[in-house]
Structure 1
Amino acid sequence: MRILGAILAGGQARRFGSNKALATLRGEPLIAHAARAMAPQVAAVAVCGGVPLLPDLLHLPDRPAPGLGPLGGLAAALAHAREQGFDGVVSVGCDTPLLPDDLVARLRAPGGASFLDAMPLIGWWPSALAPALDAFLATDPRRSLRGWGAAAGATVLSLSQPIPNINTPADLAELAR
């Protein structure tokens, strides 16, 4: 099974105050940590949304237009996955530098689409859902990940151990300790 890892990096980072993807943890940008944690679990990794941040990774601009939040990045990843013969996409945020080694297996366990209840940005999306997400974006002005998950019939999962998520500089300082 070919899986595309999609790091969603197009958010506005209002609570953080600057581009979270480039904030450093142990001397490296958060997005580099996320890419390294995801790489062993997928066939390829892409950065979705925003501007190109890591020169060695594929950058996919939001689809169908910039400024659509995480779903614009996910739509780009799903369209790319479908066009390139990937079976699906595992999405994570650029602000999740530490991922479980078995994240992809856990997300795929239910079979169809799934996402984490505590962090809907983290999910498994079969590439066949690309046209459905395009249609959802054209008709749902809220562009909610939870709303998209419900429309896609996704299973909502919980993990026993929470995944660290950086929303504020204080979150980053806490994780650095």
Structure 2
Amino acid sequence: MTAGARRLGAIIAGGQSQRFGSDKAMAMIDGRPMIDHVIAALRPQVDELVICGRAWPGLSSIADYPVQGFGPLGGLCAALDHAARGNFDAVLTTPVDVLPVPANLGDLLSGESAAVFERQYLIGHWPVRYRDALLTHIQEGGRRAFRAWLDTVEVRYAPEPFPMHNVNFVEDMPKEI
């Protein structure tokens, strides 16, 4: 991103944690809820931090857009819409259930186009100009699968800087961060 550019941070956290069996955001790692680790890593890298799909103390919450229950794409669209209305240049996203979040995530993914990690593509950098393409995809009945939308837009795939834990089941939980 260019100097002076504004970046919105968005934690995608609207899932129901069905495979996990309880609220993943509240799962404890190193004595703290999983979501607190994500917040601590993302907050210093952005100008404002929001959470998509749920409420959390100390964060502004935004609902899926333009329709509720559209999964991670609805959360990303909400974040891009919020960013566009707030004069942000880009959105830096991470799901609540992938750890650890790199302390230099913005540096790893920033650029003119969208960028995601090769295996963790909910972690991404999204210029605000992607809002219209995603909104059209959702409104025209596009597939809910995140990967299906990625196949329709320009996106750069970056290697993960280190192994990351995608927590879908209790046994996926890292012992420490």
TM (normalized to structure 1)? 0.91
The answer on 1:62 being equivalent to 2:64 is: yes
C-alpha distance in 2, partners of 1:128/1:153?
Answer: 11
Q: Which structure has greater helix proportion?
A: 1
What is the Cα-based RMSD across aligned positions, in Å?
Answer: 1.6
| CA–CA distance in structure 2, aligned partners of residues 149 and 124 of structure 1 | 12
Hey, which bits of structure 1, 4+ residues long, moved more than 6 A?
A: none
Q: Give the distance between the partners of 2:139 and 2:175, measured in 1 at CA.
A: 38
Q: Deviations over 1:50-96 (max 9, x none)?
A: x21x2211101111122111011101000000000110101101012
Letter in 2 for 1:95: D
Out of 31, 35, 38, the position equivalent to 1:34 is: 38
- In the other structure, the counterpart of 1:165 is 166
Aligned length: 173
1:85 match? 87
Residue 141 of structure 1: CA displacement? 4.0
Post-superposition Cα deviations, 1:136-173, rounded to whole Å, max 9, x if no partner, equal: 1122442121222222211122124122222211122x
Against the structure 1 CA distance between its residues 30 and 148, is the aligned structure 2 distance closer, same or farther, given a 3 Å change threshold?
same
Q: Distance in 2 between matches of 1:5 and 1:26?
A: 24
Question: Which residue of 2 is the match for residue 73 of structure 1?
Answer: 75
Tell me, in whole angstroms, the C-alpha distance in 1 between the residues paired with 2:131 and 2:64.
Answer: 13
2:175 maps to 1:175: yes
Report what 1:95 is aligned to.
97
Write the deviation string for residues 30-63 of structure 1: whole angstroms up to 9, x where unpaired: 11110110011111111001x21x2211101111
2:121 aligned partner: 120
> Secondary structure of 1:104's match?
helix
Counterpart residue number, 1:104: 106
Quote the sequence identity (%): 38
Pick closer, same or farther for the CA change 1:158–1:140 going to 2, 3 Å. Answer: farther
Gaps of 5+ in 2: none
Aligned partners of 1:170, 1:62: CA distance in 2, in Å?
29
Tell me, what secondary structure is at the counterpart of 1:176? Answer: coil
Which residue identity is paired with 2:41? A
CA 1:61–1:147: 2 relative to 1, 3 Å:
same
Aligned AA (1:176) = E
- 2: CA distance, partners of 1:35 / 1:103: 13
C-alpha distance in structure 1 between counterparts of 2:84 and 2:153, whole Å = 16
